[in-house]
C-alpha cells in the first residue's frame, strides 16, 4: 500500500505565487522526511528535509511544515519562479528494523510556474 | 563532494545483449542503491547494498544482476532484457545505520532503451 500519500498530482502557479504540496503518512516509526526535486531527464535532487522533532524548516524560498499529530507535512515554495517548474517527490524513512535503507516516496507533484 | 556519477548517460540495447551500468561515489557512504524510474512515477527501489553486502533485493528478475566491487562502486549487469525494462536507472548513496538518517543522494541516471 502507499506509505506516503502526496497531493496534488499537478499544480499550476503564477510567477511570484506560493506553491504548496502536501503529504501524509501512517507509519509513526518514520523519523526523516525529505523532499526531492526532479527535472526531466535528471536524477532527483535532495531539496530539503525535516525530522519530527521540529515543526518547520526553512531554506531560502523553500519551507517544510510538519504536523506530527496529524501525520502530515508540506512543502511551501515562496515567490515561485519558472525555474522551479519540476516534479517534486516527498518521502519518508525510518532507521528502525528491516526497513533500514528504504525511502518511501509519494507519487509526485508536477509543478508548472507560469511567467 | 556530494556527487554520484553514473555511466553511460544513455544506453540502447537489444534483447539478447549483455551490458553494464556503473555508479561511483566518493562521499564515504556505506549504502548504495539501484532504482528504476518510469515516466511520471517515483523511483522504485531495486537493490540496496549495505557495507558492500546485498541487503535488499526487491524481487527483481534475475536478468538484472547487481555487483558492489568496493565501497565506492556499484554495477548493474543487464542480460536478456525486455522492452518493458526501458526506463531511467538511478543510483543513490547514503550513510546507513541506526545512527544515520536516510539522506540519499542520487546520480543523474542512465536512460535505458531496450529494443
**Residue to test with chain A: of B102, B103, B113, most A Cβ within 10 A:** B102
Residue A86 has pLDDT above 70, yes or no: yes
Higher pLDDT among residues B101 and B1, named by residue: B101
Q: Tens of pLDDT along A55-69?
A: 999 999 999 999 999
* pLDDT at residue A39, as a whole number: 96
**Yes or no, beta carbons of B42 and A102 under 8 Å apart:** no
Burial of B103 (0-12, 13-18, 19+ CB in 10 A): middle
Range of lowest pLDDT (A7-21, A34-48, A92-106, B9-23): A92-106
Query: Which of A27, A44, A88, A90 is most worth mutating to test chain B (most B CB atoms within 10 A of its CB)?
Result: A44
Mean of the pLDDT values across residues A30-54?
94
Say if the Cβ atoms of A31 and B101 lie within 8 Å: yes
Per-residue pLDDT for A91 more than 80? yes
Per-residue pLDDT, A100: 67
Percent of chain B having pLDDT more than 90?
A: 85
pLDDT at A44: 97
B1-54 residue pLDDT tens:
569 999 999 999 998 889 999 999 999 999 999 999 999 999 999 999 999 999
Residue A48 contacts B where some CB pair is shorter than 8 Å = no
CA-to-CA dists, residue A31 to A12, A52, A53, angstroms? 30, 6, 9
**pLDDT > 70 in chain A, percent:** 96
Three-state SS string across A35-93, please? EEEECCCCCCEEEEEECCCCCEEEECCEEEEEECCCCEEEEEECCCCHHHCEEEEEEEE
Amino acid at each position: 500500500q502507499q506509505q506516503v500519500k502526496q497531493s496534488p498530482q499537478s499544480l499550476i502557479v503564477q510567477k511570484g505565487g506560493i506553491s504548496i504540496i502536501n503529504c501524509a503518512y501512517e507509519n509513526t516509526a518514520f523519523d526523516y522526511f525529505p523532499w526531492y526535486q526532479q527535472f526531466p531527464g535528471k536524477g532527483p535532487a535532495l531539496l530539503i528535509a525535516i525530522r519530527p522533532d521540529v515543526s518547520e524548516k526553512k531554506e531560502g524560498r523553500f519551507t517544510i511544515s510538519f504536523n506530527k499529530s496529524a501525520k502530515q507535512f508540506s512543502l511551501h515554495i515562496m515567490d515561485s519562479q519558472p525555474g522551479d517548474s519540476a516534479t517534486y517527490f516527498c518521502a519518508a524513512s525510518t532507521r528502525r528494523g528491516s526497513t533500514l535503507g528504504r525511502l518511501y516516496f509519494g507519487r509526485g507533484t508536477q509543478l508548472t510556474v507560469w511567467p | 563532494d556530494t556527487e554520484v556519477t553514473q555511466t553511460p548517460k544513455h544506453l540502447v540495447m537489444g534483447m539478447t545483449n549483455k551490458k553494464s551500468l556503473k555508479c561511483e561515489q566518493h562521499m564515504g557512504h556505506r549504502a548504495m542503491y539501484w532504482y528504476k524510474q518510469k515516466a511520471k512515477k517515483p523511483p522504485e527501489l531495486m537493490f540496496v547494498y549495505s557495507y558492500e553486502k546485498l541487503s535488499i533485493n526487491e524481487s527483481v528478475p534475475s536478468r538484472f544482476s547487481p555487483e558492489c566491487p568496493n565501497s565506492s562502486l556499484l554495477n548493474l549487469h543487464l542480460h536478456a532484457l525486455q522492452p518493458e525494462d526501458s526506463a531511467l536507472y538511478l543510483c543513490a548513496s547514503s550513510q546507513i545505520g541506526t545512527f544515520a538518517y536516510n539522506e540519499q543522494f542520487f546520480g543523474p541516471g542512465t536512460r535505458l532503451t531496450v529494443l
